[in-house]
Amino acid sequence: MSLLQLKNVTQVFDDEVVLKDIDIDIEKGKFYSILGPSGSGKTTMLRIISGFSKPTSGQVIFEGKDISNFPANKRNMNTVFQNYSLFPHLNVYENVAFGLALKKVDEKTISKKVAKVLQLVQLEHFEGRMIDELSGGQQQRVAIARAIVNEPEILLLDEPLSALDMKLRKNMQYELRQLQQELGITFIFVTHDQEEALAMSDEIIVMNDGIVQQSGSPVDIYDEPVNHFVANFIGESNIVDGQMLDDYQVKFVGKEFECADAGIPQNERVEVVIRPEDLDITTKDNGKLIVNVDSQSFRGDHFEIMAHDEDDNNWLIHSTNPAKESMGIGLFFEPEDIHVMRLNESEEDFDARLESYEE
């Protein structure tokens, strides 16, 4: 059974539709990411879940109960805020104990729980520190401790890593993931960073323009994006126009290719996605496509090669070795590397179509 559901949730602010008819299902114990660019409605969705905003229409169902009209303090969820919002007049201990003290938990239990949770976030000896005496990373941990000490069913995280530097951020990603698995609490993590979402989540909900574009496991979303937006937003993509000739037969750049997609009407206009890392550089003769290299840049673990074909489509290639010739290199890819997207296909139709031909 799902733990939390949004049913037909729509949010309108001053005639502007921020969320359109959102339906999502959150299961217990999983790590969810709501991923989208700014203005996609992801923060609004989080605020509706946490109870800071009331949806214009639709329902929020928690454990089978409609909680749409419950205020934030009556919901069994806690939030880690983007700027942490730790109380500056209280020290670390008092901040973490805040929620428990409100529930009239006895002093002894509080201090035991606070000690335990501070140990969990590796801040055992910081109880007496004031918030302004902590670094950004430490404040982050206190914010997490303050939320999870209340043992919520769902922990909401509103871009909590965006203020940290790159290295600390990567560390916190691992720690958050580990923490989630240890505690078994459902995490809903809002972010605009696709890498972060891919690295941490069990499920990703991709948002744009107030609509859920696609939801699914990171691998599903990466390998089988439903549309142009998702293909572009998650990872890097080469997207070219094509035409579906038949099941498992697609035509692009004037050539016919075998592919792994089916269930699309014959001769329909489609978009074809090939990930840069799926393109292998080979000789002209062995290549399925011939391209000319425009530029190369070294990225540490790979080369990023920009090229164009005879139809002037741009191709981005990730390769461990640099391209030797600038004129005419071959690109090789397997049929499974080609992903065909129908224009304007909804996520539902997409899932149904995939099911119809996948076993």
Partner 1 sequence: MRKRLFYVPYFLWIVLFVVIPLILIFMQSLTFDNGKSIFSNYQAFFSSGVYLKMTFNSFLFAFLITFFSLIISYPAAYFIANSKYDTFLILLIILPTWINLLLKAYAFIGIFSHDGSINYFLGLLGIAPQQLLFTNFSFIFVATYIEIPFMILPIYNSIKALDKTYIQASEDLGANKIQTFTKVVFPLTMNGVKTGIQTVFIPALSLFMLTRLIGGNRVITLGTAIEEHFLTTMNWSMGSTVGVILVFIMIAIILFTSKTKKNKVGVKNHE
Tell me which of 93, 252, 315, 350 binds partner 1, using CB under 8 A.
93
Least separation in angstroms between residue 98's CB and partner 1 is 5
Which lies closer to partner 1 via its Cβ, residue 47 or residue 192? 47
Please work out the total of residues on this chain that contact partner 1, with binding judged by CB under 8 A. Answer: 31
141 binds partner 1 (CB under 8 A): no
87 binds partner 1 (CB under 8 A): yes
3-state secondary structure the chain: CEEEEEEEEEEEECCEEEEEEEEEEEECCCEEEEECCCCCCHHHHHHHHHCCCCCCEEEEEECCEECCCCCHHHCCEEEECCCCCCCCCCEHHHHHHHHHHHCCCCHHHHHHHHHHHHHHCCCHHHCCCEHHHCCHHHHHHHHHHHHHCCCCCEEEEECCCCCCCHHHHHHHHHHHHHHHHHHCCEEEEEECCHHHHHHHCCEEEEEECCEEEEEECHHHHHHCCCCHHHHHHCCCCEEEEEEEEECCEEEECCEEEECCCCCCCCCCEEEEEECHHHCEEECCCCCCEEEEEEEEEECCCCEEEEEECCCCCEEEEEECCCCCCCCCEEEECCHHHCEEEECCCCHHHHHHHHHHHCC
43 binds partner 1 (CB under 8 A): no
Least separation in angstroms between residue 254's CB and partner 1 is 56
13 binds partner 1 (CB under 8 A): no
Which lies closer to partner 1 via its Cβ, residue 126 or residue 229? 126
What x-and-dash track marks residues 57-76 binding partner 1 by CB under 8 A? --------------xxx---
Which lies closer to partner 1 via its Cβ, residue 52 or residue 357? 52
Least separation in angstroms between residue 65's CB and partner 1 is 18
229 binds partner 1 (CB under 8 A): no
**Contact 130/91 with Cβ under 8 angstroms?**
yes
Which residues, 94 to 133, sit near partner 1 by CB under 8 A? Answer: 94, 98-99, 102-103, 111, 124-125, 127-128, 130
Which lies closer to partner 1 via its Cβ, residue 84 or residue 229? 84
Which lies closer to partner 1 via its Cβ, residue 50 or residue 194? 50
Region of 60-68, 83-91, 227-235, 306-314 interacting with partner 1 (CB under 8 A):
83-91
52 binds partner 1 (CB under 8 A): yes
Region of 82-90, 183-191, 264-272, 326-334 interacting with partner 1 (CB under 8 A):
82-90
Region of 80-88, 161-169, 189-197, 241-249 interacting with partner 1 (CB under 8 A):
80-88
By the criterion CB under 8 A, which residues form the site for partner 1?
50, 52, 71-73, 77-79, 81, 83, 85-89, 91, 93-94, 98-99, 102-103, 111, 124-125, 127-128, 130, 146-147, 150
